[in-house]
Structure 1
Amino acid sequence: MFSLKRKTLQEALFDQFNNLLMLVICFATLYPIWYVLVNSFNDGNDAMRGGIYWWPRMFSIDSYTAVFANDGIMMAMGVTVAKTFVGTVIHVLFTAMVAYAFSRRELIGRKVYMMIGTITLFFSGGLIPTFLLIRDLGMLDSFWVYIIPAMFSFFDLIIFVSFFREIPDALEEAAKIDGANDFKIFYQIILPVSMPVVATIALFHGVYQWNDYFTGMIYINNTDLQPIQTYLYRVVAQSSSNQIAAAATGDLARTVSSQSIKLATMVVTTVPIVLVYPFMQKYFVKGFMIGSVKG
């Protein structure tokens, strides 16, 4: 028989305090999201009166209708989807290839390369040299400014290398006996058995690509190439929301406001990447732990 140890009063109070603290933190984290969601589904002009905290007072989807009717938002969403997909695929493949080479102990100069790469984790050239480099490479106002500079990450390489080193050497030796070269081994053996860490890095970089507004703000002047996050920045910080609201006609003009347009745009730009997390969570946890801790 197992005896259950009764908690002391101090332990019980400590547990209750922790539970209360976690509830407060969760509320402080989730309520702003709920507030934005509720007000985005309320009549825009009515919401300007305030007092909406838990449920819409006058339910309306007119703000979303105005957002989706705006060609600029739809163009920006398309750019974001394209750069997130293309950028993530290229980043994962390129970083994995470099990491596979780094994981081979026979690589000449491996320690020197690791030292140089580690330095880049703490020091960078700065914004102005980077801008001059991007300009000289001809990537200003180009879709590839989102892809090429983000092709490689040394932090992600470290996670890949830790995972690759745990793969049994017998797999590669058997493939070499069958006549497979390094590229065939990498694409047909290493990548298929590394899906947990591949999914982890894909999630890391996919979220970065989706949320990145700074690249579009600094390197893109062509509005047709700006991503949705840069568009959201301009909606919130500048007068774009007023222009969208002013462009609404008919009944929409009476039920939307610049504030409701801002809130609806925030929801539209956030929901897609939030919906991805539940499907990637199990791969994320498994891949991060296996790729980082050798057990």
Structure 2
Amino acid sequence: MNGKAAKEDLDSRIFDTLNIILLIICTVVIIVPLWNVIISSFSSGKALAEGGFIFWSPEFSLENYRAVFNDSNIWQAFFISVSKTTIGVVTHVFFCAMVGYGLSKKYIRGRKLYVAMGVITMFFSGGMIPTYLLIKSLGLLNSFWVYIIPALFSFYDVVILMNFFRNVPDSLEESAKIDGAGDWHIFLKIFIPLSMPAMATIALFNGVGQWNDFMTTKLYITDQSLYPLQMMLYEIIVQSQTQSMQNIGGSAVIETTTKGVQLATIVITTLPIILIYPVLQRYFISGMMLGAVKE
């Protein structure tokens, strides 16, 4: 018996050791490129031109960040990115929650038809050209609302919320109705607070998508005052590639300077998501509904 226990203990230690080694390798593979981008963004043009460093730059400089923050277009783009992400996330989550709340009720007439129509939209779409014509007919070209209105609805998120709402005990809703609460009161005061883990998850994924989106701008926006940060980053990358092609055989100063600004912009655009994630992480660990009702 002792021999068997010793063998199981040895197997457990081998398994734990292999897991630790694998996790360390994965961590290094993820962290090293991110660290290199951050260090490179603080490097001078000369250091970037010479290259050859991974963990530490031989010559630090803040010129890349000065170039970014001195550009008034960057501040305008930052304001657009924050505005469209904040408004887009709030309206998207609330709209999907309303639809999910309604479809979670079995007594709704035509519920199966609505669900079938929603499922179809998950697999088929009109395509780029019909979507562009629709956006144009709605008058959303060169409008801030092109970031908000088309992104209001996602049936995938509706399905997640709908299944979450079904897990809310019926006794909560019944007791609220006995006290005279209507559907809006039940939805806002009971279902929304109890569904915060699911809504926070959807808000995080939608917020990351909104923040990183630049294709909407590229397709529907020509007014540079409505450009978000990601579109500015895209233009910096295109500009650096163009200047690199034009300066083959010449000085590398322009290319490396543009590369440094590009790296600084990447760090700036990534930082808000990194800061927001820990705030929402607590909703992924435990739900507020645990222990709400004992039956």
TM-score, length of structure 1 as denominator length: 0.86
What amino acid sits opposite 1:25 in the alignment? C
Deviations 1:252-277 (A, max 9, x none): x99x8111111111101111111111
Match of 2:109 in 1: 108
Match of 1:261 in 2: 261
Match of 1:143 in 2: 144
Match of 1:75 in 2: 76
Match of 2:249 in 1: none
Counting only pairs closer than 5 Å after superposition, residues 1-295 of structure 1 correspond to structure 2 as: 4-6=5-7, 16-239=17-240, 257-286=257-286
Supply the distance in 2 between the matched residues of 1:132 and 1:213 (Cα, whole angstroms).
19
Contact between 2:47 and 2:57, CA under 8 Å: does it hold in 1? no
Supply the distance in 1 between the matched residues of 2:242 and 2:6 (Cα, whole angstroms).
60
Supply the distance in 2 between the matched residues of 1:213 and 1:4 (Cα, whole angstroms).
58
Deviation for aligned residue 1:239: 4.6
- Equivalenced residue count is 277
Compare 95-104 and 115-124 and name the one that shifted more.
115-124
Contact between 1:235 and 1:241, CA under 8 Å: does it hold in 2? no
What amino acid sits opposite 1:154 in the alignment? F
Deviations 1:172-219 (A, max 9, x none): 222222222211211122112221112111111111111111111111
Supply the distance in 1 between the matched residues of 2:164 and 2:121 (Cα, whole angstroms).
21
What amino acid sits opposite 1:190 in the alignment? F
Supply the distance in 2 between the matched residues of 1:280 and 1:23 (Cα, whole angstroms).
25
Unaligned runs of 5+ in 2: 244-252, 291-295
SS at match of 2:7: coil
What amino acid sits opposite 2:230 in the alignment? Q
Deviations 1:71-97 (A, max 9, x none): 111111110000010000001111000
Query: Percent same amino acid among aligned pairs?
Result: 47
Supply the distance in 2 between the matched residues of 1:286 and 1:218 (Cα, whole angstroms).
40
Contact between 1:241 and 1:259, CA under 8 Å: does it hold in 2? no
Supply the distance in 2 between the matched residues of 1:35 and 1:241 (Cα, whole angstroms).
24
Contact between 1:36 and 1:263, CA under 8 Å: does it hold in 2? yes
Supply the distance in 1 between the matched residues of 2:170 and 2:11 (Cα, whole angstroms).
53
Supply the distance in 1 between the matched residues of 2:14 and 2:267 (Cα, whole angstroms).
39
Compare 277-286 and 227-236 and name the one that shifted more.
277-286
What amino acid sits opposite 1:115 in the alignment? A
Supply the distance in 1 between the matched residues of 2:27 and 2:176 (Cα, whole angstroms).
50
Deviations 1:148-189 (A, max 9, x none): 001011111111011101111122222222222211211122
Shift in CA distance, 132/89, structure 1 to aligned 2, threshold 3 Å: same
TM-score, length of structure 2 as denominator length: 0.86
Contact between 2:64 and 2:264, CA under 8 Å: does it hold in 1? yes
Supply the distance in 2 between the matched residues of 1:160 and 1:168 (Cα, whole angstroms).
15
What amino acid sits opposite 1:74 in the alignment? W
Shift in CA distance, 140/190, structure 1 to aligned 2, threshold 3 Å: same
SS at match of 2:52: coil
Supply the distance in 2 between the matched residues of 1:286 and 1:76 (Cα, whole angstroms).
36
Shift in CA distance, 41/239, structure 1 to aligned 2, threshold 3 Å: closer
What amino acid sits opposite 2:117 in the alignment? I
Contact between 1:203 and 1:284, CA under 8 Å: does it hold in 2? no
Supply the distance in 1 between the matched residues of 2:240 and 2:41 (Cα, whole angstroms).
18
Give the alignment's Cα RMSD to 1 decimal: 2.6
Deviation for aligned residue 1:240: 9.6
Supply the distance in 2 between the matched residues of 1:114 and 1:286 (Cα, whole angstroms).
29
Supply the distance in 1 between the matched residues of 2:55 and 2:13 (Cα, whole angstroms).
33
Shift in CA distance, 109/38, structure 1 to aligned 2, threshold 3 Å: same
What amino acid sits opposite 1:274 in the alignment? I
